Structure 1
Amino acid sequence: MPGGRILIVNPNSSARVTAVIDRALEPLRRTTSMRIEVVGNPSGPPGIALQADADSVAPFVQDTVGQSDALACVIACFSDPGLHGAREASAGRIVLGCGESGILHAMMSGDRFGIISLSESSTQRQRRMVRTMGVASRYAGSVSLSATAEDVTSPAMFEAMAGAGDELVRQGANVVVMGCAGMAHCRDALERRLGVIVIDPVDSAVAMAIGLCCLKGSRVHGDAA
């Protein structure tokens, strides 16, 4: 859809996380004529460490999505804060959460998925998400890095992420999902190291958004014909 726009919303205040997301989406930008724009939340917490953090940024996500004229919006936080309210506020536009999208992509890519999480509180939210989605039988578990969203933007975290991935493979995962948008820069190297498919959930959500926009556009043009 020429001239269309996809808005990526990072609900935390970390400029480093926003920059990592933006750079990681360059390959997708080369595949589409749609503009892919990434915005952060300067007034938000530096990371979504607790459920309270996720709850606190939900109004920002919902307001940003509701006021946007983008064809599609993606929430670039694995906890998907404000997702359902944002969909209600979106007047029928496409709104995706990267956590939900990453898990769906993982289930299309292998039998069992595991998640590299930032912290134990992140792991708890991931378990709730898996149960809510009804896909617990496909979930091998989560392994925590005991890190922050900003920590994982550093290449120095790669070995810790690889160790977590190895543990997930030992637990039966044949797909590994990175449980934070700030991990995106490690995807290719992590996939080579682990020897299994590694999912960057923001990349997955944006790719889905592009496809859904194209599908929606084809229906509009088909109806007009």
Structure 2
Amino acid sequence: MAWRCSGGSNADLIHNMERNGLINSQRVKEAMLGVDRAHYAPSSPYEDSPQPIGHRATISAPHMHASACEALLPYLQPGSRVLDIGSGSGYLTHVFANLVGPTGTVIGVDHIQPLVSLAEENMAKSKEGRELLESGRVKFIKADGRKGWKEGAPYDAVHVGAAAAEHHKELAEQLKAPGRMFVPVESGWMQHIYYVDKKEDGTVVKERKFGVQYVPLTDAPEE
């Protein structure tokens, strides 16, 4: 259904995803309506397809952002702490911030400094985005996402926006108990989304969900 979700405006795009069953929660719908994708996608912002943002990176298709929000929603409560690895354009970081509210915190991590700067610039295009940055509710950091960001741990939710070559132990360790990670992982020539849940007793359970195609979670490209 994703191919039928593109629209002429941000509202059209979100409503089309809801109509096609890709958004099922009113909270997710409102959070995505509150972020104009045109501030983050340099071209065709309301098409339901990934868009290049430079540095061999992309902003994922809107339906993948909706899927991540729906999957993590039980852990995106007011006051939650969220780690967004491979934050890229900063779009989903902003949506997460809407979901966790004024007492929550979202940390966006990218390994390419120009993308960290781009996310900050994109978020500053709106009054709401500027307030998120100025209040410290959203922070963008340059770091190796494969190692997470221990300084802000533990996290209620971790989102990984690039395909990992393996299940990185450090990321699961930085989850709260309970907590959930949404991560694409390579398996042979395929990639699959996994939900990685840390239970209250600290047990980690990995569940493979559906096939995807993401850019890889790798070292930063050479200058």
TM-score (norm 2): 0.36
Return the structure number with greater strand share.
2
TM-score (norm 1): 0.35
Which gives a bigger RCO, structure 1 or 2 (Cα 8 Å, sep 6+)?
Answer: 1
Q: Which one has the largest radius of gyration? A: 1
